[in-house]
Amino acid sequence: MTEETPGFEEKPDVPSGAASDGAEPKDAPSSPEEEAPAAGDGVQTVGLTAQLDQVRTALNERTADLQRLQAEYQNYRRRVERDRATVKEIAVAGLLSELLPVLDDVGRARDHNELVGGFKSVAESLETVVAKLGLQQFGKEGEPFDPTIHEALMHSYAPDVTETTCVAILQPGYRIGERTIRPARVAVAEPQPGATPAAAKEEKATDEESGGTEEV
């Protein structure tokens, strides 16, 4: 019989260089699965960049739309304000047109020194109110005749004028801003046909005193 030494077990011979059971191999090459995450990160970055570009494009489009809407709103508000001012001016002009005969009566009473007492106070209050509403009176004797703001009711010739001139204001004109409510009704005088105007007479007299004009 073969005697066995107690406490010792025979182990199979392990070749030198072989890894023991449970030990991980050292310096093992990386597997394709371990390299895959790096390539996946690059694809994800490209996708995010594309999405970011789309978001920027959409943002620029929305910004342009808002700017266009704001410009349209500003134009609309200006039109509304301009139309409102025009409507107000027309309404005020219509009201003041009805008061012009009263103002004419006040003017005639003032010319005849009849604007006294309580009537004077009322007339002055009325003139103050219409002035606050923008009513302006125009028309003066001696100013050149302008058919756009003057209405000639009388016509004559005068040797002392060099152009058609307003020689009398029969009724004053009224305007609001640039809008003429009523033209000034005037008497006009034109230079007398064949007559030498006063200015030409003075110039001729001056030339005669200086020895006459020089011939060319």
Greater model confidence, 195 or 122: 122
Residues 139, 104: contact at Cβ < 8 Å? no
Mean pLDDT of 166-170: 94
Q: Which amino acid is at 21?
A: D
Q: How far apart are CA 112 and CA 126, in angstroms?
A: 19
Q: Over the stretch 38-92, which tens digit does the pLDDT of each residue have?
A: 556 777 888 788 888 889 999 999 999 999 999 999 999 999 999 998 888 889 8
Smallest Cα–Cα separation from 171: which of 159, 158, 154?
154
DSSP character at residue 122: H
What is the pLDDT, as a whole number, of residue 177? 85
Greater model confidence, 23 or 191: 191
Q: Is the pLDDT of residue 19 over 50?
A: no
Q: Decide the pairing of beta strands 184-191 and 150-158.
A: parallel
Residues 174, 181: contact at Cβ < 8 Å? yes
Q: Is the pLDDT of residue 30 over 50?
A: yes
Backbone angles phi, psi at 14, to 5 degrees: -105, 125
What is the pLDDT, as a whole number, of residue 216? 34
Q: Per mean pLDDT, which range of 4-8, 112-116, 135-139 is the poorest? A: 4-8
What is the pLDDT, as a whole number, of residue 185? 95
Residues 189, 156: contact at Cβ < 8 Å? yes
* 3-class secondary structure, 141: coil
CA atoms within 13 A on the CB side of 132: 6
Strand order in the sheet with 184-191: 150-158, 184-191, 165-171
Q: What is the mean pLDDT of the chain?
A: 79
Greater model confidence, 33 or 120: 120
